[in-house]
Every structure is written in C-alpha cells, then in structure tokens.
Amino acid sequence: MSESVCLFTVVYPGCEPYLDRFMQAVEEQDYKEFELLVLNDGLQNFDHFAKKTERPVRSVAVSGSIAAVREKGIAMLAESDYDVIIFADADDYPAQNRIEIAIGKLEQCDVYVNDLTTVDKYEQILTKTYFSHRLGSRFEITSDFILQKNIIGLGNTSVRKTALRKIKIPHDTIAVDWLLFTEMLHRGQKAIFTNDTTTFYRQHEENTAGFKKLSPERLEHSLKVQLQNASYFREESKSHLKWHKKLVKLQSTITQNGYIKDDYINNLELMLPQYPLWWEEIKYLNEIIQNS
C-alpha cells in the first residue's frame, strides 16, 4: 500500500526572495507522489509561487505568533490522513533526493533527521554536511543528547504521522522545533540522523538558529532559548530541572556582573568545538571556570 506523503512549510511576508529556489527544489524532487501543504501567514502573492510546481499545493491561511502558527500546523497534521510528513523551511531548500530518502529512513524510526549544508545568500556552499563533522554518517538521537543543544529543526526533519500529537506551545516560544522534538523523544519516539541527504541551510541575519560568532546579544538570545526549553520540561524531567537551575544561576550572574559576562564569552569561544550545534554556546559556570 502506498503512503500519503506531505511536504509541510510556512510562508510569511519577507520570505519572497527565497521562494523561487524553494519551489524549484520542490518541483525537482526525485519522489513525486506528495502534496505540498503550506500555512500562509499573511503572504499576499503566494499563488504566484505555487504555480511554479506541478505538485498538488494546499494553502491554508493562518495568523499569529511564530509559535502559534506552528502549533496550529502540528494540530492539523496530527489529525490529517498523511502517513509521512516532511518538514521544510521556506527560506532553505531540500536536496533533490530528500523526500525519497526520508520515506525510506522512516521505515526504521519515527523521526528522521537529515544533514545540513550551509550556504550563503548567493547559495555558495559554506560547509558540506555540517552535522556529519560531529555525528558521523549515522547517529541515534536521544532526549539526553538534545538536553543542552539541538540538531533537530523543522527544516531538516521528517516524521511518521503516528509520532505526532497535539501539543500546547507557549506562544512566545522561540525554538519551537526543539520543544516539539524533545517532547517526542520523551514519549519514546525513535529518532535517527544520517547524512544520506541534506537541506541547504541559508546563513543570514533572520535565522533564529545559526552558527555565528558569539556576541553579547547572541549570548542573551541563546540563554533565553535555553531557559524556555528547560523550563517547559522541568516538571517532567529531572535532567531539565537540574539544567534549568544552572541556567537561572548563569543568567543572574552574568546580568549582575559585566566583567564575568565578557570573561564568559571569551572563554566560551575558546571552548566551543569547530562545528557547534544549535544553542551549544551556553555552558554552565563551573564548566567555564574549569577551562579558563
């Protein structure tokens, strides 16, 4: 029996410069039997872009915060008739074999995470198969592994519909993907990473999670994301509760003492690996002190 496959994304005002390339990648997929489901958060001319593919396109008008829109999308997908859901970010673009590979990998797991190839605004490759430099060609992802960092984004993940359920997401949440997939892993869903396919991941200022040089502003942003995620799970996870307490202490210390904040950033840049993962730039104070 053939499976029903959905490629899911969100479009919004501001993503227009990227949509031609995204739709081209949709049209060029090796696997053809899928529907493109688009949540349209206020983009007036999406029909213009939808005509660039022969794949069936279903567009649903939505509004709200970034988190609220994605919460609606997850609820919609959880109640849908799709068997396989391929998540995609409209400002990135998938490799030609991404859907085909994901369908095959999801025969072995509930959540499949593919690699990223970072590109600049001109689509010049910066780093091929970025995560493979840290994880190798295959890696099983556990909830402990993504406690203090993340590799599972809505631009490089595919799931079996049976792994989804409606979830309440605070509407100020920044890293919706981190929250969503941590919740899945806590429920016992199996997640694997391989580098058999990739998502071309744009590095630009609008990225919520990028691989940038650390700055005071970046530190504050990352710490906020870490606190949100740890706080969400602290009542059901002892690991998250312990991490949340360390984050609160870190926030209090660097907020009250500018010298410690500067010293923290300087030491952190020396400690970070060559290929840092998302939100990995936050370390607890004792770790910094021991390596200073």
pLDDT range class, residue 284, cuts 50, 70, 90: confident
Cα(9)–Cα(22) distance, integer angstroms: 10
Nearest to 58 by CA among 31, 77, 84: 77
pLDDT range class, residue 7, cuts 50, 70, 90: very high
Cα(93)–Cα(121) distance, integer angstroms: 12
Q: Token match 């920044």: residue?
A: 174
Q: Is 178 helix (H, G, I), strand (E, B) or coil?
A: helix
pLDDT range class, residue 65, cuts 50, 70, 90: very high
Count of other CB atoms within 10 angstroms of residue 282: 23
What tens digit of pLDDT does each residue of 254-282 get? 888 777 788 888 888 788 888 999 999 89
Nearest to 107 by CA among 131, 83, 88, 135: 83
pLDDT at 8 over 90: yes
Nearest to 249 by CA among 287, 276, 216, 206: 287
Q: Which amino acid is at 186?
A: H
Mean pLDDT within 231-254? 95
E-state strands within the chain: 5-11, 35-40, 57-61, 84-87, 93-94, 111-119, 125-127, 138-141, 157-160, 191-202
Count of alpha carbons within 13 angstroms of residue 71, beta-carbon side? 16
Nearest to 282 by CA among 223, 203, 214: 223
What tens digit of pLDDT does each residue of 30-39 get? 999 999 999 9
Q: Is 262 helix (H, G, I), strand (E, B) or coil?
A: helix
pLDDT at 141 over 50: yes
Nearest to 128 by CA among 116, 143, 113: 116
Please, what is the average pLDDT of the chain? 92
The pLDDT of residue 223: 94
The pLDDT of residue 268: 83
User: 149 vs 58, 85, 125, 159, 230, CA distance in Å?
Assistant: 34, 24, 24, 20, 11
The pLDDT of residue 212: 55
114: which residues sit within 8 A by CB, 6+ positions away? 98, 101, 102, 156, 157, 158, 193, 194, 195, 196, 197, 198, 199
Looking at the chain, how many residues does it have? 292
Q: What is the pTM of this model?
A: 0.93
The pLDDT of residue 70: 97
User: 8 vs 58, 133, 157, 244, CA distance in Å?
Assistant: 10, 28, 11, 32
Nearest to 185 by CA among 262, 240, 227, 121: 240
Structural domains of the chain in order of their starting residue, each with its CATH number = 5-202 (3.90.550.10), 216-290 (no CATH)
The pLDDT of residue 112: 98
pLDDT at 205 over 70: no
pLDDT at 63 over 90: yes
Percent of the chain at pLDDT above 90? 81
Percent of the chain at pLDDT above 70? 93
The residues pairing with 10 across neighbouring beta strands, listed in sequence order, are 39
Cα(40)–Cα(255) distance, integer angstroms: 39
Mean pLDDT within 47-71? 95
In this structure, the strands spanning 35-40 and 57-61 are parallel
The pLDDT of residue 1: 40
Cα(190)–Cα(108) distance, integer angstroms: 9
Cα(200)–Cα(124) distance, integer angstroms: 10
